Structure 1
Amino acid sequence: MTIDAPQTPSLTTQFDELQQYFIKTPYLSINKRITVLKQLRSRIVEFEQELIDAVSKDFGYRTAFDTLLGDILPTMQALAHTIKKLPKWSKPSKRSVGLSLWPSKVSVTYQPKGVVGIIAPWNYPIQLAIVPVITALAAGNRTMLKLSEFTPHTNQVLEKLFSGELEQHCKIIQGGSDVASEFSSLPFAHLFFTGSIAVGKLVMGAASANLTPVTLELGGKSPVIITEKADIKKAAQAILFGKMANAGQICVAPDYVFVPKELEHQLVQHLCELYKKHYKQGVEGKNLTSIVSDVHYARLSGYLEQAQQLGATIIKPLEDNQQDPDKHRMGLHIVTQVTDDMQLMKDELFGPILPVMSYTNLEHAISYIKQHHHPLALYILGQNKQIQEYIIKQTLSGTVAVNDTLVQVTADDAPFGGVGHSGMGHYHANEGFLTFSHAKNTLVSGSFNPRIGMLLKQSKVLIKLLKWLYIKK
């Protein structure tokens, strides 16, 4: 006799269950939301080592440092900040009524939207899954979380983490592109997606059938501008950290560098020296995360081969231990003499490949950036504050970091989001709470309200008063 394994409920069934929870309690108290967030925080602490081990298995090898710094710590920071600030964020916001609505009072109240769908990527499978959930739960919603099919071991741990009472607030969904397509078509109150531009367009298209509002966290090619007279060694340190963390598999990783022509040789030299110092064992080192899969490794190798065929120069800081196809591991590859017809200058790299371009006039670098899609991040390396301000005002990007890389996304009290092809909408901080809330215009009038009677009479005195107040040159 065989016992059939229990079947996973359909997506519609799970959505309907969460919808019923929401209908039963459309406004979860702030204290209850904080209790749920604290329970989630305890679960993350409980499963910390399991999560670290699982992510490493999914990548083939991922350093514990990358998982702690990029996944666990930002998630815990977001929880602490949200728990602390939620009572303030959720308070009604008093607004001015003006003389025309006197003596009534107006405020904006923040109401949960309902069941929120969240689609997470593979590159930071803990942070980029849980932080949007934290923000949506803080706003009082129920959530369905679709995890990446490329991180099955991590997904198993997250399923355990969200089991029990937490399952009433967040249901974990697994599956490939077919499941993701069905997921995007559910009538969510809000749909949040992190991933590629191509898939983001599909998600937005599916959501439009239900008039579901969407937040898209995409990516693109995030440039670095090194300014004249910059400390080139410090610039190289910032770039190397940003490019090699998680082997460059980050949506805000530096994608290409603009450097003054007279500093180009020094930059390449310092990058090579720093790489030899910190990654001296290359792909055999325990401090280098693997490329997530054979497919992505082949994609990166293809970029290098094509660029070289089209005349680019590939610079490898180490003569040996730069690539391991069997374990899909890759060290830093600096690429100079690049052109726009090379695929590595068209696609988001998402790996340890660094194109370097020189400029003799800052306007050339700024013009190049402005002629391409708005990036998710822009990095400025150099101490001249006037030039920093000029670049920031002349360019449009989701985020900016000056004399730093990557860490701007961990600023808990600031929003995170792209613009144009790099994304739509925000999460993190108060802006994230607002994203997942309905801001309701609430007008309250008391027993004394002469305005109604005057409006019904179409009072000429009232009309003259209003014209005198508002219709002026």
Structure 2
Amino acid sequence: MPDTQATSSPSIDAMQDVFARQKAAFEHERHRSLSERKADLEKIEKLVKERGDEFADAIDADFGRRSKSETALAELGFTIATAKHSRQHLPKWMSSKRVSVPMTLAPGNAYVRREPKGVVGIVSPWNYSMQLAFAPLVAALAAGCRVMIKPSEFTPRTSALIKSTLAELFSEDHVAVIEGGPEEASAFTALPFDHLFYTGSTQVGRIVAKAAAENLTPVTLELGGKSPAVIAPDFDPAEAAKTLAWGKFLNAGQTCVAPDYALVPRGAEKPFVDAMMAETAQMWPDVATNEDYTAIISERHHARLSAMVEEVREAGAEVHQLAFDKAKAGNTRIFPPTVVVDPPLDSKLMREEIFGPVLPVLSHDGLEDAARFINERDRPLALYIWSKSKQTARTFLSKTISGGAAVNLPLLHLSVEDLPFGGVGASGYGAYHGEAGFLTFTHERGVFEAPVWHPSRLVRPPYGKVFEFFKKLQSG
């Protein structure tokens, strides 16, 4: 990361000025009241309800084609729900928490004060460009923080709309949006925030963590990884395909918790693949012109996916793709739903997060074998298992580790507001959503209040009989 103090870029100078003004504003007003915080959240909720169509249009233009239905579901509806949930639960979240005082420290009171951390930075990605900027913003505002957001340069129209609409609602010393490319992002993550929240790739996440470490800034990293979808021997693979196909190909697979590969019982590969292709064709007939099927965000990302598939095709893997007429598409970034059977494990398709509409299918010889395969690799952000038995699913979860998990359905665990959402290991650290998000941007300050005269005065040199009595109390 460059030394942002040494640069003379006007945009970076302006960024540092905004940061300084937010720090000063926080020092002036450290504790926003419950009513003020609830009003902040109401502003976000009202903004999305009233101007959701503008955001859908901007996102559609940035992608070249983005399903308006998927935007309504995964961005607009999600943001409204998280703002409403936070507003309703904020009184409880903000309240101090009493804790017990041991007999050796009595009399006295002990409690935890929940205080805003200060000025926080949010780096949001392009794949859900509005939701992944606004959801952590809601959590930070609920916590009473000042917020700076750096949205992705891959979605310039949405980023500009986020900036202009938030500027209408909040002063820049309260909420500010910083546009720009890699240089601005680098300078942004080098600022001495009180907390830095990053959503994106594992590769860039490492860089962000290093930049934050220079300032000892606490970081939440929401990364990705290869989230497995496991079909248990007791579950019909064709039935699993009905929900797995939607979860995989939503937003053309450009979802951090999308199933990245499927592990199916050996011998069930063909019925599973056939069902996947049939379900996909039913949901998105004629993907070339279907407005409900989303494009890939950029030519570079499209070329990367094409190269991944061609690599395994040349290696002899079986590749199934939905029928696709390029000439009809009107968009060179449409990539048809693709299923690949038995790709080489050393291929990019199996070493890198795919982040596109390509599903590798591998075989397993029982759930013990599937768990071993998963555990030999980096910890995934999500893990999905399909089983008719709750006990079977829970036993499998106990043998694996992932950021989150769901049984018999993909993706929807992240819509449960009271479930913490986050990664583990290479898929990130820290969590948000609901109270977990509030606590991410909150400092829990432990306080002990003693009366004017406290018995601890008796436990001091020269140590004698009273000290020995307290020693016995401590040891039980």
Range class of TM-score, shorter chain: over 0.9
Q: Secondary structure at the match of 1:456?
A: coil
Displacement of 1:471:
2.7
Amino acid at match of 2:378: H
Per the alignment, residue 102 of structure 2 pairs with 98
One of 92, 110, 115 as aligned partner of 1:111:
115
Amino acid at match of 2:193: F
Contact kept, 8 Å, 1:184 with 1:206, in 2: the verdict is yes
d(CA) in 2 for partners of 1:121, 1:319:
28
Q: Secondary structure at the match of 1:345?
A: helix
One of 74, 81, 85 as aligned partner of 1:77:
81
d(CA) in 1 for partners of 2:328, 2:466:
80
Q: Does 1:466 align with 2:467?
A: no
Q: For 1:414-471, what per-residue CA distance to the aligned partner results, in whole angstroms no more than 9, with x for missing partners?
A: 111000000110111112111111111111112342332x123555333333332333
d(CA) in 2 for partners of 1:462, 1:151:
69
Q: For 1:77-115, what per-residue CA distance to the aligned partner results, in whole angstroms no more than 9, with x for missing partners?
A: 100000001110011010111012100110000111110
**Equivalent residues in 2 for 1:286-297 (5 A)?**
286-297=291-302
Amino acid at match of 2:313: Q
Contact kept, 8 Å, 2:79 with 2:131, in 1: the verdict is yes
d(CA) in 2 for partners of 1:325, 1:308:
26
Aligned pair count? 466
Amino acid at match of 2:177: I
Displacement of 1:8:
8.7
d(CA) in 1 for partners of 2:95, 2:157:
40
Q: For 1:128-165, what per-residue CA distance to the aligned partner results, in whole angstroms no more than 9, with x for missing partners?
A: 00110110111111000001000111112111211134
Q: Does 1:166 align with 2:170?
A: yes
Q: Does 1:309 align with 2:314?
A: yes
Q: Does 1:204 align with 2:209?
A: yes
Q: Does 1:441 align with 2:452?
A: no
Q: TM-score, normalised by structure 2?
A: 0.95
Per the alignment, residue 17 of structure 2 pairs with 13
Per the alignment, residue 70 of structure 2 pairs with 66
d(CA) in 2 for partners of 1:462, 1:234:
72
Q: For 1:180-219, what per-residue CA distance to the aligned partner results, in whole angstroms no more than 9, with x for missing partners?
A: 0000111100000000011111111111111101000000
- Cα RMSD after superposing both structures: 1.8
d(CA) in 1 for partners of 2:289, 2:126:
23
Per the alignment, residue 194 of structure 1 pairs with 199
Per the alignment, residue 27 of structure 1 pairs with 31
Per the alignment, residue 349 of structure 2 pairs with 344
Q: Secondary structure at the match of 2:447?
A: strand
One of 138, 146, 155 as aligned partner of 1:142:
146
Contact kept, 8 Å, 1:317 with 1:332, in 2: the verdict is yes
Amino acid at match of 1:170: V
Q: For 1:319-359, what per-residue CA distance to the aligned partner results, in whole angstroms no more than 9, with x for missing partners?
A: 75699695300111110021211110011001100000011
Q: Secondary structure at the match of 2:260?
A: strand
d(CA) in 2 for partners of 1:297, 1:462:
76
Per the alignment, residue 133 of structure 1 pairs with 137
Gaps in structure 1 of 5+ consecutive residues: 1-5
Query: Structure 1 165/56 Cα, relative in aligned 2: closer, same or farther at 3 Å?
Result: closer
Per the alignment, residue 6 of structure 2 pairs with none
Q: TM-score, normalised by structure 1?
A: 0.95
**Equivalent residues in 2 for 1:42-61 (5 A)?**
42-61=46-65
Contact kept, 8 Å, 2:337 with 2:357, in 1: the verdict is yes
d(CA) in 2 for partners of 1:221, 1:460:
63
d(CA) in 2 for partners of 1:210, 1:138:
25
Amino acid at match of 1:195: G
Per the alignment, residue 376 of structure 1 pairs with 381
d(CA) in 2 for partners of 1:64, 1:466:
68
Query: Structure 1 358/339 Cα, relative in aligned 2: closer, same or farther at 3 Å?
Result: same
d(CA) in 2 for partners of 1:20, 1:92:
26
Amino acid at match of 1:297: H
Gaps in structure 2 of 5+ consecutive residues: 1-9
d(CA) in 2 for partners of 1:394, 1:25:
48
One of 261, 264, 268 as aligned partner of 2:266:
261
Contact kept, 8 Å, 1:225 with 1:259, in 2: the verdict is yes
One of 40, 48, 52 as aligned partner of 1:36:
40
d(CA) in 1 for partners of 2:374, 2:253:
20
Q: Does 1:430 align with 2:435?
A: yes
Per the alignment, residue 336 of structure 2 pairs with 331
Contact kept, 8 Å, 2:101 with 2:109, in 1: the verdict is yes
Contact kept, 8 Å, 1:237 with 1:274, in 2: the verdict is yes
Amino acid at match of 1:88: K
